[in-house]
Amino acid sequence: MSEKTIVANSPAVGTPSAARHISRNEGLIFERSAPGKRAFELPPLDVPAVAPSAALDASLLRDEIAGFPEVSEIEVIRHFTRLSTWNYAIDLGMYPLGSCTMKYNPRVNEFVARLEGLATEHPLQPAEVSQGCLRILQLLEKCLLEITGMDAVTLQPTAGAQGELTGLLLIRALLESRGNARRKVLIPDSAHGTNPASVVIAGYEVQNIKSNDRGQLDTDHLREYVTDDVAALMLTNPSTIGVFEERIAEIAEILHSRGALLYMDGANMNALAGVTRPGDFGVDVMHLNLHKTFSTPHGGGGPGAGPVLVKKVLEPFLPVPRLVERADGTLALESHRPQSIGRVRAFAGNFGVLLRALAYTLAYGPGIRQATEDAVLNANYIRKNLESVYDLPYGLASMHEVVFSDARQKKHGVGTMDIAKRLIDYGFHPYTTAFPLIVPGALMIEPTESESREECDLFIGAMRAIAEEVERNPELVKTAPHSTRVGRLDEVGAARKPVLRWHPKQPTELPSGVAPKVVPSA
């Protein structure tokens, strides 16, 4: 191995030795750079050349960018292709991640998003030459309103968290217009972390409310919590344990009777689309995660989009710009809205993501209900086949996701994180561990409608096999995974001495300060 290659590859447990091709041991792009190599050529200038030093004062100019990559095109292709082979992905198999809704990302969506005339458009170009883009936005707005039963929508927010913040700002604006913005927002202890974080940025105080012993909102005591100081309740429905809040009408009534509003976190919309509508059961404002329910790709962590839908009373406060249809039938974006909360991001929104969500919706049409039914069927099928081996802390009916706990396995010293890591050896991505907080040692499983019966059976088989391993050979589970390119990584070292970038002179420096071992091939 050359000096530049820092660590040698080590075969997976039980694999026979063989010459190790570099594809499993690809270094950083900077480590394969060599001066003078380049991967992209520009067409020649068709205007007179101007040296930057002739056009601009020397004090404004930079030296070369030290350390920037210098590689050829094939090296770029190989580098990133090799990296991609180290990832799990929906295209490979199921992600049973609860509340993430990792469903199939249709390829036609990628194709249409890249069309010339759509991918090429500048957000500030005149409306006269943007009618195609605006019609896409308008149609998506109509579809989302129909699916949710709400009255008005903004497609601006860039992700669910930004949608939550936008929704909270809308609530604040409405209550302020009524004379009192109030101070607190109620959040169940089962909520996703973005909920309380968004509340604080919106300038409200978080008041946590404990779930009842069935894992649901404590509706019996809700009336006491909803004082005149409370602006809203932020509720995920179905909840993060996958259960529909059956008393939702009562919850809405309690809030409304005190002049407070009901915000619904739409992360679990995959259990509802086509079957019921939040606008019908009392929700005043909600967001959707288009990268969840509406199939836009996660891409390793984003982009997403988090449209916010509201009842009529909140419409005047929606962020700008607003999509309007003029008398002549043309569309435009309008920024003059005196009561608007303002702008939440530059330009019109994550158009490329919105476009993909529309393509998804058009593919299903009214048949979207079938996807929801299949998602709920899959979750219940998995639940039924695992409830004899994993502890089910709450007995209520599951919708599109089911939450177990590691209580039984803990008796053998094995926790949810260990089981999750062992699941990797069976070819699956782990489920969501340690969330929601109300279930200690949670295993949160959401298969989505994209999983076939075979895939569900394979998953069930793997989980049952691991449950057996926990009893026979807990060490095997506790030290998993065994089949991946790297084993469990030292997160403690990474946090104590963060190394957050490559440095030209520091090829062998590692957080522990110890030189890395060269592991011989077996």
Partner 1 sequence: MVPTDRRYTKEHEWVRLEGNAGTIGITEYAQHELGDVVFVELPKLGARLKSGQTMGTVESVKAVSDIFSPVGGEVIEINETLAQSPEQINKDPHGAAWLVKIRLDNPQEAAALMDAAAYEAYIAEKDKEVSA
Partner 2 sequence: MRYLPKSDAERRDMLASIGAPSIEKLFESIPEKFRLREPLKLPGPLSEAEIIDFFRARAEENSKGYASFLGAGVYSHLRSVVTDALMQRGEFLTSYTPYQAEISQGTLQAIFEFQTLMCQLTGQEVANASMYDGSTALTEAALMASRLTGRQHLVIARSVHPEYRQVLATYAKQIGVEVRDVGFTPTGQLDDAALSEKIFDGAAALIVQSPNFFGVIEPVAALAEKAHAHGALLITCVAEAVSLGVLRPPAEADIVALEGQSLGIAPSYGGPYLGVIATREKFVRQMPGRLAGQTTDAAGRRGFVLTLATREQHIRRERATSNICTNEALMALAATIHLSLLGKEGLREMATQNVAKARFLFAELTKIPGVRPAFSGPYFNEFTLEFPRSVRMINAALLREKIVGPLSLGIHYPELTKRAVVCATETTTRASMERFAETLTRILARPV
The residues of the shown chain that bind partner 1, judged by CB under 8 A, are 434, 491-492, 495-496
Based on CB atoms, which residue is closest to partner 2, 88 or 476?
A: 88
510 binds partner 2 (CB under 8 A): yes
200 binds partner 2 (CB under 8 A): yes
> In whole angstroms, how close is the CB of 411 to partner 2 at the nearest point?
25
Among residues 217, 182, 216, 185, which one has the least CA distance to residue 198?
185
Question: Which of partner 1, partner 2, none sits in contact with 86, Cβ below 5 to 8 A by type?
Answer: partner 2
Binding residues for partner 2 restricted to 426-465, rule: CB under 8 A: 429-430, 435, 449-453, 455
Q: Which of 132, 413, 440, 461 binds partner 2 (CB under 8 A)?
A: 132
135 binds partner 2 (CB under 8 A): yes
Based on CB atoms, which residue is closest to partner 2, 404 or 435?
A: 435
Q: CA 38 → CA 41, 72, 75, 84, distances in Å?
A: 8, 5, 10, 22
358 three-state secondary structure: helix
Task: In whole angstroms, give the CA distance from residue 424 to residue 406.
Answer: 17
Binding residues for partner 2 restricted to 273-312, rule: CB under 8 A: 274-277, 280-281, 289, 291, 297-304
> In whole angstroms, how close is the CB of 327 to partner 2 at the nearest point?
19
Task: In whole angstroms, give the CA distance from residue 268 to residue 400.
Answer: 8
333 three-state secondary structure: strand
In the block, tokens 């002179």 appear at 505
235 binds partner 2 (CB under 8 A): no
Q: Which of 249, 413, 461, 473 binds partner 2 (CB under 8 A)?
A: 249
Site string for partner 2, 23-52 (x = CB under 8 A): ---x-xxx--x---xxxxxx--xxxxxxxx
> In whole angstroms, how close is the CB of 434 to partner 1 at the nearest point?
8
Task: In whole angstroms, give the CA distance from residue 122 to residue 115.
Answer: 14
Cβ–Cβ < 8 Å for 508, 501: no
Instruction: Say if strands 205-209 and 152-154 run parallel, antiparallel, or are unpaired.
Output: unpaired
Radius of gyration (C-alpha) of the chain in whole angstroms? 26
Instruction: Report the run of H or E that residue 144 belongs to, with start and end.
Output: helix 131-148
Neighbouring residues of 21: CB distance < 8 A, sequence distance ≥ 6: none
Cβ–Cβ < 8 Å for 158, 345: yes
Question: Which of partner 2, partner 1, none sits in contact with 512, Cβ below 5 to 8 A by type?
Answer: partner 2
> In whole angstroms, how close is the CB of 483 to partner 1 at the nearest point?
24
> In whole angstroms, how close is the CB of 442 to partner 1 at the nearest point?
14
Question: Which of partner 2, partner 1, none sits in contact with 328, Cβ below 5 to 8 A by type?
Answer: none
Q: CA 248 → CA 21, 101, 208, 405, distances in Å?
A: 58, 23, 18, 26
> In whole angstroms, how close is the CB of 35 to partner 2 at the nearest point?
8
> In whole angstroms, how close is the CB of 345 to partner 2 at the nearest point?
5
190 binds partner 2 (CB under 8 A): no
Say which amino acid occupies 225. Answer: Y
Q: Which of 12, 61, 324, 522 binds partner 2 (CB under 8 A)?
A: 61
91 binds partner 2 (CB under 8 A): yes
Q: Nearest 5 degrees, angle CA 176-CA 200-CA 265?
A: 85
Q: Which of 171, 310, 323, 353 binds partner 2 (CB under 8 A)?
A: 353
Task: In whole angstroms, give the CA distance from residue 335 to residue 353.
Answer: 22
